[in-house]
Structure 1
């Protein structure tokens, strides 16, 4: 995963009014914390940050007052209707340090014939990986699975250097049998009654 370089300014004003003024300038209020250091309140260019966050678990090289710091987004708050960034919490990391992150689960292949349905119990998988080698996603093969089959966390092949951060017996996906439809005549009779 490539590092994304962003520049941030230190914020000295706090509170709702200050955050609104920051957003009016097309910047996003953020906090950088971690490694026992005092949290830094910063403002980051909104468009550049939005583009960086299109990649899940993006590794960001944040330039604050001429000092570069590696961070990953830990909590992202968005405006409910339009999806604009409202606030971001960054976790400071170091090269070689292990972090726990949620990575998206992608599926490949087709289920066994019969109209069965694939139910995603979770959309992400918690993994522990080196901060500079966080996987973008994990892929699970569902080819030929029939009703009643399930995929557990321990069944997922993880990239080198990554390990599960959840119990191996955690069910991620399961195949559910399709329900038979009631005949159209029976529905019509019930409506008349």
Structure 2
């Protein structure tokens, strides 16, 4: 069935079982949720690619069907672990949602438009956030929020959270006055030259902290006496 991902349940759990799944070309995963019994499964890594693509294109909600069952359930991708060196998938967490309860998640901020302060004044666009924490019912879930930067005409202009257009039923925990994006002035040639100057250090003026030991003069009484060799 289109847009429904079938999951094959795993009966064995733990690190050894997860390693065995990976050696068979499958990625171990778990589905869990509020007052929902966790269920473990194994999935083809190509299906994870499809899940990610479907999640990014739509609302973030996915339909999954456990093998042998009739009705799919709604989930969101909670976390995907990848190998730190190889970059391959190692584990996936899916959160099963309840349609009557709010979700706390994040929506990506997608910047669009053209800023006059960047285009004509040579400014630098500074993005204070790349994701927005949101709360909503699953039916109102969104995957991204558009941030149009056309209004950034000068270095004094900013885009705040209150300027974002959120759909009905979607709220964010960030302050309405929180800055999302702004444009900073480019550095002057004098500032760049100052940054590029080498810092000259006079090693003779470096102060050494800590107590300095006085070395005894050669042949003085302060010199350490060598222990007398014992006679056999």
Structure 1 and Structure 2 fold alike (TM over 0.5): yes
Counterpart-to-counterpart distance in 2, 1:33 and 1:159: 28
Say whether the 8 Å CA contact 2:151–2:157 is kept in structure 1: no
Which structure has greater helix proportion?
A: 2
Runs of 4+ with >6 A deviation: none
Gaps spanning 5+ residues in structure 1: where?
A: none
**What is residue 107 of structure 2 aligned with on the other side?**
103
Q: Which has the higher contact order (CA 8 A, sep 6+)?
A: 1
Aligned residues: 188
Shift of 1:102: 1.1
Shift of 1:119: 1.0
Gaps spanning 5+ residues in structure 2: where?
A: 201-232
- Measured on the aligned residues, the alpha-carbon RMSD in Å equals 2.6
Instruction: State the SS of the aligned residue for 1:49.
Output: helix
Counterpart-to-counterpart distance in 1, 2:191 and 2:181: 30
Computing the radius of gyration from Cα coordinates, the structure with the larger value is: 2
Counterpart-to-counterpart distance in 1, 2:122 and 2:151: 12
CA deviation map 1:89-134 (0-9, x unaligned)? 1111133543122111112222222111111122111122332442
**What is residue 14 of structure 1 aligned with on the other side?**
13
**What is residue 69 of structure 1 aligned with on the other side?**
73
TM-score (structure 2 length as normaliser):
0.70
Shift of 1:150: 2.3
TM-score (structure 1 length as normaliser):
0.83
Bigger shift: 115-124 or 54-63?
Answer: 54-63
